[in-house]
A and B are shown apart, each in its own frame.
Chain A
Amino acid sequence: IAGITQAPTSQILAAGRRMTLRCTQDMRHNAMYWYRQDLGLGLRLIHYSNTAGTTGKGEVPDGYSVSRANTDDFPLTLASAVPSQTSVYFCASSGLAGAGEQFFGPGTRLTVL
Chain B
Amino acid sequence: KNQVEQSPQSLIILEGKNCTLQCNYTVSPFSNLRWYKQDTGRGPVSLTIMTFSENTKSNGRYTATLDADTKQSSLHITASQLSDSASYICVVRVVRWGKLQFGAGTQVVVTP
Contacts and interface: CB of A to CB of B under 8 A. Distances in A.
A53 interface: no
A42 B49 contact: no
Interface in B58-104: 89, 97-104
Nearest to A105: B43
A60 to B, nearest CB: 12
A87 interface: no
Contacts of A97: 98
A93 to B, nearest CB: 11
A106 interface: yes
Contact of A107 (B42, B45, B97, B98): B42
Interface residues of B, number: 20
Interface residues of A, number: 18
Contacts of A104: 43-45
A41 interface: yes
A41 B43 CA distance: 15
Contact of B98 (A44, A92, A98): A98
Contacts of B105: 42
Interface of A: 4, 40-45, 90, 92, 97-99, 101-102, 104-107
